[in-house]
Structure 1
Amino acid sequence: MVELTEDLAADFARIALGHVAREYPHKLDHVLNGDVDAKTPGALHPVFFGSFDWHSCVHGWWTLLTLRRLFPDLNEAAQIDALAETTFTAEKLTVELAYLERPSSGGFERPYGWGWLLYLHLEASRHHDKRWAKRLEPLARAFAKRLGDYLKILTYPIRTGTHFNSAFALTLSLEWAEQFDTRLAGQINEQAKGWFGSDKRCQAWEPGGDEFLSPALSEAMLMQRVLPKNDFANWFAEFFPDIGSLQPATLFTPATVSDRSDGKIAHLDGLNLSRAWAWQNLTTGSAGNEDLIRQAALLHLESAMDHISGDYMGEHWLASFALLALLAD
């Protein structure tokens, strides 16, 4: 059994400290309207300029703050504190907020980065000795407003297993909204039920070659969050009617990663970790199939744990997904 020990937490902290302030290489989500918009990542995003891309930097910081809270005596905790104090400043966060106000930034990081920013703010709010949450809150509120507006016009859910997946972003966002925006929480609940409530007999045609999320399990985990326990048990039984026979088989087989230097193919390590996270959470609603689901979670987790670091294409983000899996209920 893989456990989040202090040594492993220190490894994750060192990995994340090594990339959240590393500006290059970098992949921008940025629309240029003219030469004046051609700027460096650090100029555009003085807070979240590292980790190869904006959203990975956000959840890299979520990793660091989570580890700081859970393991306050880590040697790395002091480094996390010092870097966070110089990063989460009012001045720098004002620049991040102003970026959203650009006319061309409407689709910036939608919805994956939105969900992770809310999740980061939620984690920051647990650090009562710091002002990080207060400084991050205007940015979180801005993304929450965008999410609410987006849900009003998104007729159909996006089910692909990449950054555009609706269920994953809503799962992260719902936990934030339950504490900070009950209206948004209600909107997410209703949207999820409307999109997924009648789904049955999931075929799970996955994984796609560059997916890091399971469309099937992301949906199931969101429904577990929005439905009462008995209602979810009924929904789950209809969504996965043959789960006792390990069907759909694709969900019980870890993905093969052929080239971890290829950023897209390296996504599949993340798929194995996110499946481990989902399966572990879904154990409680599996109606007699707890052991086989727990085994599936462990199999997926173990298939990826040796690959959290080693190549920057995975190293700049995989620890966050490993931490999600290790903290699963």
Structure 2
Amino acid sequence: MKKYLYIPFLISSLSFAQELNLQQAKKIFDLPTHCISIEYPNKLGNVLGSENDLKTPKQIRPIFYGCFDWHSSVHGFWSIIKLMKDYPELDVNNKIRNQLNQLITRDNVTVEMSFFNDKNNKSFERTYGWAWLLQLQMELNSWKDEDAIKWSKNLQPLSDLIINRYEEYLPKLVYPIRTGTHDNTAFGLSLAIDYARAVNNKSFEKIITDNAIRLYQKDESCNIAFEPSGSDFLSPCLEEALIMSKVKNKHDYKSWLKNFLPQLLKNDFNLQPGVVSDRTDGHLVHLDGLNFSRATALYQIQNKLPDLKYLNKVADNHLNYSLNNITNDDYMGSHWLGTFALYALTNKNR
């Protein structure tokens, strides 16, 4: 088993992070394009109502059956679309484009929707997978490409269903879920509000804004010293700080942040990257994802409060720690980490 040692003074001495370029884009692109049609191993995560529900992943999820689980497949598609749009030379022979044409069809979307409408699975992927589906829809909507327009129209009914699920669920959520993994409420809200604003869905945006403020407005003194837990890929403190940056104006946000996470307002703020001891372990490798998601949050918070330029250095340190370790050597990391790296790089370059 390979061990990956963490050397604090080397990490803290780095003052730059890699930029998203064609070489980096190809490295990330190869990961989801490799696995979107790999059906096994697969973590289904669904509830069986009877023996009639014993089906293969591809039978119940004819689009998003690859990359180990549904949400990883969905955000793998997001990565593919994002990179094909920005770097068309990655698919000059149209191999991936032709594959997407076979997958994102009306008939396949209908099957995917029937699974979400099954009475035993109406909370499936709430809200992590929901949020990534909306990010995929948002990316397709913004691509003025003949095939992308068709894929967008085909996928829209499933996205509309997800929005309805959000609207039903959020008012019933008395307390936010503050984990460092998939169920984290703030992370799902953050991705969802980006979609709402991109498509100018004011009612959906208002639901997210109102509920975010209801859930988080009174929070204070988040103890980031307790982070991370052993398999986190999200920071509960930073994800909450991020969603609140999206629903408050600059002045009110800074006042709220002073009570919630005052360390961020001090120019000596520092946060060491999460240490990954074994990248073949599907849970331990989550900490690479944590480094990427922390970087994303810090970049976006700094965009909200431009005076906090030192946050970019902390973000860069996290990005640098894990970026060079994104490879296809082991499936436990390769099937999903590329997306989190791409999302961080995208936010760095904004």
When normalised by structure 2's length, the TM-score is 0.89
- Quote the residue 2:321 is aligned against: 303
Q: CA deviation at 1:245?
A: 6.1
- Quote the residue 1:138 is aligned against: 157
- Quote the residue 1:187 is aligned against: 207
- Quote the residue 1:276 is aligned against: 295
User: Taking structure 1 as reference, are residues 78 and 33 closer, same or farther at Cα in structure 2, changes over 3 Å only?
Assistant: same
Segments of 4+ in structure 1 off by > 4 A?
Answer: none
Q: Deviations over 1:249-279 (max 9, x none)?
A: 6xx1111111111111111110011011111
Q: Residues 14 and 76 of structure 1 are in contact (CA less than 8 Å); yes or no, is this contact kept in structure 2?
A: no
Q: How does 1:237-248 map to 2 (within 5 A)?
A: 237-243=258-264, 244=266, 246=268
> How many residues end up aligned between the 2 structures?
325
- Quote the residue 2:121 is aligned against: 105
Q: Residues 113 and 158 of structure 2 are in contact (CA less than 8 Å); yes or no, is this contact kept in structure 1?
A: yes
Q: Deviations over 1:217-254 (max 9, x none)?
A: 1111111111112221222232222332645x6xx111
The answer to whether residue 166 in structure 2 is matched with residue 147 in structure 1 is yes
When normalised by structure 1's length, the TM-score is 0.95
Match of 2:42, SS state, is: coil
Match of 2:64, SS state, is: coil
Q: Residues 26 and 41 of structure 1 are in contact (CA less than 8 Å); yes or no, is this contact kept in structure 2?
A: yes
- Quote the residue 1:63 is aligned against: 79
Q: CA deviation at 1:323?
A: 0.7
- Quote the residue 2:312 is aligned against: 294
Q: Residues 250 and 305 of structure 2 are in contact (CA less than 8 Å); yes or no, is this contact kept in structure 1?
A: no
- Sequence identity of aligned pairs in percent? 38
- Letter of the structure 2 residue corresponding to residue 215 of structure 1: P
Q: Residues 97 and 139 of structure 1 are in contact (CA less than 8 Å); yes or no, is this contact kept in structure 2?
A: yes
Q: Deviations over 1:1-25 (max 9, x none)?
A: 3111111111111111001111111
Q: CA deviation at 1:112?
A: 0.4
The answer to whether residue 217 in structure 2 is matched with residue 201 in structure 1 is no
Q: Residues 84 and 91 of structure 2 are in contact (CA less than 8 Å); yes or no, is this contact kept in structure 1?
A: no
Structure ranking higher on relative contact order (CA contacts 8 Å, 6+ apart): 2
Match of 1:207, SS state, is: coil
User: Taking structure 1 as reference, are residues 177 and 222 closer, same or farther at Cα in structure 2, changes over 3 Å only?
Assistant: same
Match of 2:245, SS state, is: helix
**How much is the aligned-residue C-alpha RMSD, in angstroms?**
1.5
How far apart, CA to CA, are the structure 1 residues paired with 2:142 and 2:306? 33
**Equivalent of 1:53, from 69, 75, 84?**
69
The answer to whether residue 28 in structure 2 is matched with residue 12 in structure 1 is yes
- Quote the residue 2:237 is aligned against: 216
- Letter of the structure 1 residue corresponding to residue 154 of structure 2: R
Greater mean alpha carbon deviation, residues 57-66 or residues 196-205: 196-205
Q: Residues 65 and 73 of structure 2 are in contact (CA less than 8 Å); yes or no, is this contact kept in structure 1?
A: yes
Q: CA deviation at 1:180?
A: 5.2
- Quote the residue 1:24 is aligned against: 40
User: Taking structure 1 as reference, are residues 31 and 77 closer, same or farther at Cα in structure 2, changes over 3 Å only?
Assistant: farther
Greater mean alpha carbon deviation, residues 204-213 or residues 56-65: 204-213
